[in-house]
């Protein structure tokens, strides 16, 4: 690892100013579980690390008028332990609980997980399925955009070097919806998913048909994706296991998995069908119980 300077701002405004002054040779530091590993391997060599840990605005989980707000520096362990997240977005809680080892969950942040844009991130599928928005800060402005737009390409988010992810907001219309998360990883692999999937299911007033469904998939394309054709197929269909299995097969056709040391592309396609069906079945069971709660 090459030498670098270090700064610990106490506000978002100070952080983006530091990044802007040193761009493109500065990097924001969250939990460091991805960035520091890449630095140790000399894949990155920033001259300045801007530590975001001392910025109060980037912390906290709270319900606001717009929805459920999760600060970008909130750790996976905090999300997994949050009763509010379990009640309002159970798939998000399950995804954070599935992240890596205890050490990774205690250090790794949801913002860092998303900004890393690793195709196999666990935070992406559930948040995508719940139509999450993200707040971004630059030196001269702030704005919100869909999470889907942040996930630009592998290892590269849509953020510019002088921008910081402030928070993630699950919109109020998505809160309390029946959702579920599934992950498959190698027995000896502590962190990276071979495939992961999340689903949201809403029943129509009769309770016999699917009113709306959403599916998020990870590790099956260059970035986390929504299986929109499968979602469109499910709308208005009978809420049966056969229909869910058919939708899962449609989702397979929307993926573009690769061969690597963890699995072949063919095996990943098989897993997409299995995990998507399981996630849909889990979400449907919660929808039928009348509660999206994971507890």
Confidence check: pLDDT of 195 > 90:
yes
Give the mean pLDDT of 250-271.
94
| CATH number for the domain formed by residue range(s) 178-289 | 3.30.390.50
pTM: 0.92
End-to-end CA distance of the chain: 44
Q: Choose between 190 and 38: higher pLDDT.
A: 38
* Range(s) within the chain of domains with CATH label 3.30.43.10: 5-51
Percent share of the chain, pLDDT over 70: 97
* Range(s) within the chain of domains with CATH label 3.30.390.50: 178-289
Q: What is the structure's pLDDT at 49?
A: 94
* Range(s) within the chain of domains with CATH label 3.30.465.10: 56-173
Contact 159, 153 (CB under 8 A): no
Confidence check: pLDDT of 162 > 50:
yes
Give the mean pLDDT of 228-236.
98
Return all residues near 43 (Cβ < 8 A) that are at least 6 apart.
none
Per-residue pLDDT band for 52 (boundaries 50, 70, 90) equals very high
Q: Average pLDDT, whole number, for the chain?
A: 93
CA distance 86 to 157: 27
CA distance 76 to 241: 32
Tell the CATH topology of 5-51. Answer: 3.30.43
* Of 192, 195, 194, 177, the residue nearest 92 (C-alpha): 177
Using alpha carbons, list the distances in angstroms from residue 181 to 61, 94, 135, 195, 250: 20, 6, 24, 11, 18
Give the mean pLDDT of 269-282.
98
CATH architecture of residue range(s) 56-173: 2-Layer Sandwich (3.30)
Per-residue pLDDT band for 294 (boundaries 50, 70, 90) equals very low
Return all residues near 48 (Cβ < 8 A) that are at least 6 apart.
4, 5, 6, 7, 18, 22, 25, 26, 27
């Amino acid at each position: 690892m090459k030498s670098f300077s270090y700064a610990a701002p106490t506000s978002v405004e100070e952080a983006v100013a530091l990044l802007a002054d040193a761009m493109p040779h500065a990097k924001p530091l969250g939990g460091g579980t991805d960035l520091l590993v890449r630095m140790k391997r000399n894949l990155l060599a920033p001259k300045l690390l801007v530590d975001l840990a001392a910025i109060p605005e980037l912390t906290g989980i709270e319900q606001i008028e717009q929805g459920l707000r999760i600060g970008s520096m909130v750790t996976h362990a905090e999300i997994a332990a949050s009763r509010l997240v379990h009640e309002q977005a159970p798939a998000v809680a399950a995804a954070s609980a599935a992240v890596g080892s205890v050490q990774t969950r205690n250090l790794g942040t949801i913002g860092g997980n998303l900004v890393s844009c690793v195709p196999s991130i666990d935070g992406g599928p559930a948040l995508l399925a719940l139509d999450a928005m993200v707040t971004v800060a630059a030196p001269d402005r702030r704005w919100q955009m869909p999470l889907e737009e942040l996930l630009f390409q592998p290892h590269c988010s849509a953020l510019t070097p002088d921008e910081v992810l402030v928070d993630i907001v699950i919109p109020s219309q998505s809160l309390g919806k029946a959702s579920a998360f599934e992950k498959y990883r190698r027995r000896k692999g502590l962190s990276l998913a071979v495939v992961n999937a999340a689903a949201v299911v809403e029943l129509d007033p009769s309770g016999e048909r699917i009113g709306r469904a959403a599916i998020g998939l990870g590790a099956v394309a260059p970035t986390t994706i929504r299986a929109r054709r499968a979602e469109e197929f499910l709308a208005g269909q009978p809420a049966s296991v056969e229909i869910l299995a058919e939708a899962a097969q449609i989702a397979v056709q929307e993926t573009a998995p690769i061969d690597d040391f963890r699995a072949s592309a063919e095996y990943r396609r098989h897993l997409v069908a299995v995990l998507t069906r399981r996630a849909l079945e889990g979400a449907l069971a919660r929808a039928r119980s009348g509660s999206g709660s994971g507890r």
